[in-house]
A = this chain, B = another copy of it.
Amino acid sequence: MTIAAGALHALARRSNDMSAHPPARVGAAIDEIDTPALIVELDALERNLDRMANAVAPGIALRPHAKSHKCPPIALAQRARGAVGVCCQTVAEAEGFVHAGIDDVLVTNEVVGAPKLARLAAIARRAKIGVLADDVDNVSDLARAAERAGVVLRALVEVDVGAHRCGVAPGTPAVRIAQAIAQERALAFGGVHAYHGAAQHRRTPQERRDAIASATALARETRDAIQAAGIACPLVTGAGTGTWPLEHASGVYTELQPGSYVFMDADYTRNTPDGDDVRFEQSLFVLTTVMSTAAERHVIVDAGLKALAFDSGMPLVRGEGVSYERASDEHGTIAVEGAAKPRLGARVWLIPGHCDPTVNLYDWLVGMRGPRVECVWPVAARGALG
């Protein structure tokens, strides 16, 4: 017996689009926001945007990563402050930002398979689109997709400079990919992508300096080898919120890709800053409500595994004497030993452990200016996995 066979097609649409119901109206007070809700403090966000825009020297491009915020109004604000465009991590994200009016997107990832490649080429009719490659067959597939769409795609070689994820080895293997790209009429060689993801969360300034010194040496070697092969290398791009001052000062990197600086999170606060680092403020919070006070030494809030990412540990609680101790699917246990127990219905502000996957759990980002909701932004690229 098949499941409700006759009803399948009728149900193959959203029967109740929850995302149609934002958690707050513009002008609402904090107590009127439905929880759990993803909140951004706009003053702190704008200070973060300004600090990064002001810190980047002439001759170095800022291309912030939009996978952190997934939110077109923030991308437009970055563009308005001088960013050359944004980075995305998936074709679906890139589609979202191009549709929202961003005209220059670098997909900092390989794109594999005919359907995804066709979608990537399609948005290159409306915007400047770049993509990474670490395989010569994939370079050929990229070129065929671009030809079919009648576009030129910018392709960069991804080099593994320490993250040990995607990317070819520095030097000769990278030159081979660059040559394959340069031979294709439908591709423009865009340069070297050398992002050291693993270095972003090394805790001490010295560990980060060592990691980026090594990445810089490998990026330089690769750039020089490509140029020695007769191929112009217009760009060396990489860097994240944890290390960007180092790539910025390297003399090799010409474009920076930090993303998390707009929001920050509990994990980034565990990095010991270098003396002269630009400091970014926590602007992102998950607003929760106390829904049970029946126990003696804890209260329960309405944000658990479906409202926060836990890959980088527990969220922090804004305020003293309480801590987020344990999560289940829809509940968070807040330990209150030594502090006054919050009352039923009280609001508790949480600082997410890891901003990117937490943002990915929400349809709406509620922007607060002081005590009032100023805007409710769609997290347009939420769930844009492919």
**Structural contact, A15 and B375, CB atoms closer than 8 A:** no
CA distance A293 to B19 in the complex (A): 37
**A 1-41 contacts with B by CB, 8 A:** 1-4, 7-9, 11-19, 21-23, 26, 32, 34-37
- CB within 8 Å for A385 and B306 given contacts A73-B4, A135-B344: yes
CB closest residue in chain B, given A10: B73
**Structural contact, B345 and A375, CB atoms closer than 8 A:** no
For residue A208, CB closer than 8 A to chain B, the reply is: no
For residue A55, CB closer than 8 A to chain B, the reply is: no
CA distance A175 to B111 in the complex (A): 61
> Interface stretch among A162-170, A249-257, A266-274?
A162-170
CA distance A169 to B295 in the complex (A): 8
Smallest beta-carbon distance A96→chain B, Å: 4
For residue A338, CB closer than 8 A to chain B, the reply is: no
Smallest beta-carbon distance A11→chain B, Å: 5
CA distance A356 to B21 in the complex (A): 22
The number of chain A residues with a CB under 8 A from chain B is 109
CA distance A20 to B383 in the complex (A): 11
Smallest beta-carbon distance A220→chain B, Å: 20
- CB within 8 Å for A168 and B294 given contacts A344-B138, A357-B329, A385-B36: yes
Smallest beta-carbon distance A80→chain B, Å: 7
Task: Pick the contact of A309: B12, B305, B344 (CB < 8 A).
Answer: B305
For the complex of A and B, the 6 pairs showing the least CB-CB separation, nearest first, are A166-B292, A16-B96, A3-B77, A134-B294, A15-B100, A16-B99
